[in-house]
Structure 1
């Protein structure tokens, strides 16, 4: 049996990682056709990525047909898997998401705070259109979403879109598991972390190695400052003993934005004044990456790609595709509908949790009781996410204002309106639902 993969956002600098992941899994995941898709404005990058991808496949000596196009509907014909890794508005939009909140004294970040809200506003309608095309053209295909904010986007698609074979992925649980294995000096495949919460707001409520509880050892390492699982785009500030003792759970790197807000804001402000926003740094990194990608002697994924904060997203997606195709029944951490897993959330709310992966999809595992120390935080964050989704779909200004007010990184009634209005104006070309 041969399979076809379509990569929406194929001109992304991350695409060589997904090509590498397919090559490495050729024995179990028989992808024989890959089509990279992007918009007309991204054709130059798409062509560079397409040529590098072909060189990688030629080096592997695998019989994989690779093409690239700006005709999405044509590309989707006969697809078995569709991965989505888009950035509506590109890095220039991200720069505005980061700069404008900082101007008002609030954290500017691409998936959290005011910036994260607007990334969702721009992204959800576009991905809804893509999902509609998938449902019409290749209704049996799995849509693997790793476009951020992944949990919010996945919930919007499952609640409001036509296509229901959608699973969201993130690299943070992968990073946390790999780093915990290093802290404990054990192979990563012996480590099981019970993940509880939402995308970019998930806690590790259990850590087991071959069935033995070792959470306290990992927390001790964090207390001593010897444990770190932050991606390239988040500088680890460390955690206090009081915080770790009281919560008795592994925080994830994005929790710094919510529980160390003052310190992160100072760090981001200083970094902005010295080197520009993270978006501007990524622009420089992407420029050097694409120069590297054009080298006709390059036929592997370059190590420099791991300097991007989203490194390993694609590998996580490839693992998920492999398990769906082979009905493996292994456990992976993905974004799926709650269906009673967290009893204090609605069944159709999307959570990030450990699931058994079968040919029929991802089935959440039964889990231990959620600690009271985090259940209220998760509930509050999910309420905020629901407001973001509702306003992204409806274009309702009042709901967008409520989303801004309910975001833990804003919550100031005058500033919320000012930031909302300026971001709406800055991104109006990408926000037709509000116009």
Structure 2
């Protein structure tokens, strides 16, 4: 059976140990001969990599492991780039969240002005990674799950349209696992066949069936109408308060269109006043601070403990099982599995009454040659209108980055459903420019 070589771009991420654990748990279906880490922050990466080296030595000594900041070393002799970079790290995420709040607009990692700021930082480095891959391993695939996925996907479509990159997101996967819990399905979400359409973090399920073709939507809808996507709270005690609020708020998002089931992130577009009211109660302590105080601290503490003890036995690294969709994707390509998955791809008529150049999130069948898109057909006016507004935001952001246009980025922020006026958009933009001067292209 073929064994693959993988480079994880973003080797210093707090998510990297969980991804390594997940890869180890699925070696029987996706065998690996080599894992490399690549990051432009050598010090941060080394802290994670030293611990992962011990973990791999103990649990899979047959896998070659290395880590580097040198692109040639990282991207040579690889089959897959698994990319999950965070440009500016959590310090810049904190700015993304807090700057809009000065002007009565919520700050969020991928939605609204915060997501736009993050997108402007991410485009250049993602293109750079694609170029490294194509230079040193031209037959490799890039599996990108770096946020904000919608803006990154549009940028790759515009700037590197022929590259072997597949953009994918874990949010629908996480929601589908909760749906499977509602239904008590023995094999989780893999017992479901779904129809879904939208943009990344901006979509709807229209049909969910079991393998025998039985309609599962009514039972899920009954639960969501009462509880949102909150299910088995005693099992999910580790879920943070902010995420529990998001899962619960799906009840109100669902009420707007009970013919479908919504992606949770629609809460930010439908209820920006509600989100800001919650955020503004603690303007100096946002989600970024929460992550830095908990996840960031815990992962690096666990890594240091592994290195100090020189063993990963009983370590506090946990498999990032919700990210097993990355293994599903790599396995499907490697072994031509023809696996049905939600991907972010160029529309090109899959949604017949929507912009053919839009990067939409729809079911695709994945095999050795990449993916084949399914036909969604026509979508309702409500969703179409919402998606046209949001995809225009994403396209304007990418156009602003390519052309260095202040005007285009001002238009993008103004057009976001999360921003109340053009005047507020300009104030937010000017502050974001100052905060991001080390990361964004110069805008004129």
Give yes or no for TM over 0.5: yes
Quote how far apart the aligned CAs of 1:217 are. 1.8
Distance 1:364 1:270 in 2: 44
- Rounded Cα–Cα distance in structure 2 between residues aligned with 1:14 and 1:314: 10
Aligned residue number for residue 368 of structure 2:
359
Distance change >3 Å, CA 279–CA 239, structure 1 → 2: closer
2:260 aligned residue: 249
Query: Quick check: 2:85–2:146 contact (8 Å CA) kept in 1?
Result: yes
Deviates more, 1:240-249 or 1:52-61: 240-249
Distance in structure 2 (CA, Å) of the matches to 1:388 and 1:348: 15
Secondary structure of the corresponding residue to residue 46 of structure 1: helix
CA contact (8 A) 1:154 1:166 kept: no
State the match for 1:288 in structure 2.
Answer: 298
Equivalenced residue count is 427
Q: Report SS of the residue matched to 1:193.
A: strand
Residues 97 and 106 in structure 2, CA contact (< 8 A), matched pair in contact too: yes
Structure 2 residue aligned with 1:18: 19
Residues 344 and 379, structure 1, Cα contact 8 Å, conserved in 2: no
1:333-375 CA-partner distances (Å, limit 9, x unpaired): 1212212111233333211111101011121222354233312
Equivalent position SS for 1:106 = coil
Distance in 2, Cα, partners of 1:400 & 1:362 = 32
> Unpaired segments of 5 or more residues in structure 2?
none
Name the structure 2 match of 1:196.
197
Whole-Å separation in 2 of the counterparts to 1:382 and 1:73: 35
- Whether the 8 Å CA contact 1:331–1:356 is kept in 2: the answer is yes
Question: Which secondary structure does the structure 2 equivalent of 1:334 belong to?
Answer: strand
Change in CA separation of 1:246 and 1:431 when aligned onto 2, cut-off 3 Å: closer
Instruction: Give the SS at the match of 1:167.
Output: strand
| Residue-by-residue CA offset, 1:105-147 (whole Å, 9 max, x unaligned) | 1010111110100100011011112212222221111011111
- Is residue 341 of structure 2 the alignment partner of residue 339 of structure 1? no
- Alpha-carbon displacement from aligned partner over 1:213-250 (angstroms, at most 9, x marks no partner): 12122111111116338975532343557953634211
What is the match of residue 299 of structure 1? Answer: 312
Q: What are the superposed Cα offsets for residues 307-333 of structure 1, whole Å, 9 maximum, x if unpaired? A: xxxx65642222211111111001111
Structure 1 residue aligned with 2:277, among 266, 272, 276? 266
Aligned counterpart, 1:148: 147
Q: Which residue of the partner structure matches residue 125 of structure 1?
A: 124
Residue matched to 1:36: 37
The DSSP-based 3-state class of the residue aligned with 1:428 is coil
Matches within 5 A, 1:388-399: 388-399=397-408
Offset from partner CA, 1:392-412 (integer Å, 9 cap, x none): 222111101110111110141
SS in 1 for 2:262: coil
TM-score after normalising by structure 1: 0.92
Distance in 1 of aligned mates of 2:3 and 2:160? 28
Deviation by residue 1:47-81 (Cα, 9 ceiling, x = unmatched): 12112222222232341011011112321112110
Aligned to 1:66: 65
Q: Which residue of 1 aligns with 2:156?
A: 157
Paired position in structure 2 for 1:222: 224
Post-superposition offset of 1:279 = 0.8
Alignment partner of 1:378 is 2:380: no
In the TM superposition, what is the alpha-carbon distance from 1:284 to its structure 2 partner? 1.3
- Structure 1 counterpart of 2:74: 75
- Deviations along 1:136-168, one digit per CA (max 9) or x if unpaired, are 221111011111011220221122126511111
**In the alignment, which residue of structure 2 is the partner of 1:317?**
326
Task: Give unpaired runs (5+ residues) of structure 1.
Answer: none
Deviation at 1:23, TM superposition (A): 1.4
**More displaced stretch, 250-259 vs 343-352:** 343-352
Contact 1:81/1:142 (CA < 8 Å) preserved in 2? Answer: yes
Distance 1:321 1:241 in 2: 36
Match of 1:204, SS state, is: strand
| Corresponding position: 1:404 with 2:404 | no
TM-score of the two chains, using structure 2 as the length reference: 0.90
Q: Is the contact made by 2:352 and 2:377 (CA closer than 8 Å) also made in structure 1?
A: no
What do residues 85-104 of structure 1 show as CA deviations (whole Å, max 9, x unaligned)?
11111111111100100111
Map of 1:170 onto structure 2:
169
State the distance in 2 between where 1:128 and 1:225 align.
Answer: 41
Change (3 A) 1:313 1:153: farther
* In 2, Cα distance between equivalents of 1:37 and 1:241: 42
* Shift, 1:383, TM fit: 1.4
